[in-house]
Amino acid sequence: MSAAHICAEGLGVTLRGAVVLREVDMHIGAGLTAILGPNRAGKTTLLRCVATVLAHDDGELTVDGLDPRRESERIEIRRRLGYLPQEVGLLEGSRVFDVVEYLAALKGFRDDRRRRLAVFDVLDRVGLRDRAETPVDRLSSGMRRRLGLAQALLGDPALIVLDEPTAGLDPEERIRLREILTERRHSSTIVMSTHLTDEASVCDRIVVLVDGTVRFTGAPAELAAHASGRAWVQAAAPSPDVRASWQQADGSHRCLGSPVAGADLVPPTLEDGYLLLSGARTA
């Protein structure tokens, strides 16, 4: 199965009377895409729409030309989908192997041998094969997250949707996740949400979402370039009209915004571009 294509045009979602997403335009194909934004930006809502868990109110959303609002097409999208929600629901008391095997049965793995091989394959990928017989209620939060990832990877889906996949993972587990995603980025469409710029920096493209609207779509280098000529370092404390600033380890202040005459400009980073786009203010 080839990588999926996601198309959103004028996408809007209202929940409990509040507009969560508005006029979202997004075209995503093969590779690794980060939905980057602060908390409450609408990232989870957007991914729930893509994963067919939540129906949108306005605009259009298709996956490979299929409309999730139509039942038959929604079922077909789910055949191509692997999804890791922010909160992973696992049946307490079940073994690790059983949790993944049950999903394999739902996905149509009817042959017992083929199903077991598929289960052990994804458990190997996330480093949980030696925990196959362990009850899920004995897993750490990081291991539970990895088990949810194993479910999302089962069957080599064309579309993998991951909501804050690194939450609860230690540095070694984050590296393992990065290796898994790098391995799959050429054959699948992977969409992950994050509020961390270092996680987004390894992606092929970034969609910056702020207050329910798309502020930027492009490569990491293009996001960094948004701050070109707008990042500088100075010894004195910055004035209040600086867009963002913070004190560095050497005591100097890194500043973003409109530089003063003679400012010591520095090469922009992805984080600089993101902070300027999101309107964040730091001190």
Residue ranges of domains in the chain: 1-80+157-218, 88-156, 223-278
What the block records as the tokens of 43 is 């990232």
Summarised one tens digit per residue, pLDDT across range 136-185 is: 889 888 888 899 999 999 988 999 999 999 887 888 888 888 888 888 88
- pLDDT tens for each residue of 12-65: 999 999 999 999 999 999 999 999 999 999 999 999 999 999 999 999 999 999
- pTM score: 0.91
Written as six digits, the tokens of 262 are: 């003679």
112 pLDDT above the threshold of 90:
no
CB 13, CB 49: distance < 8 Å: yes
**CATH 3.30.428.10 applies to domain 1-80+157-218:** no
Structure tokens, 192:
């992950």
Tokens for 118, please give them.
């598929």
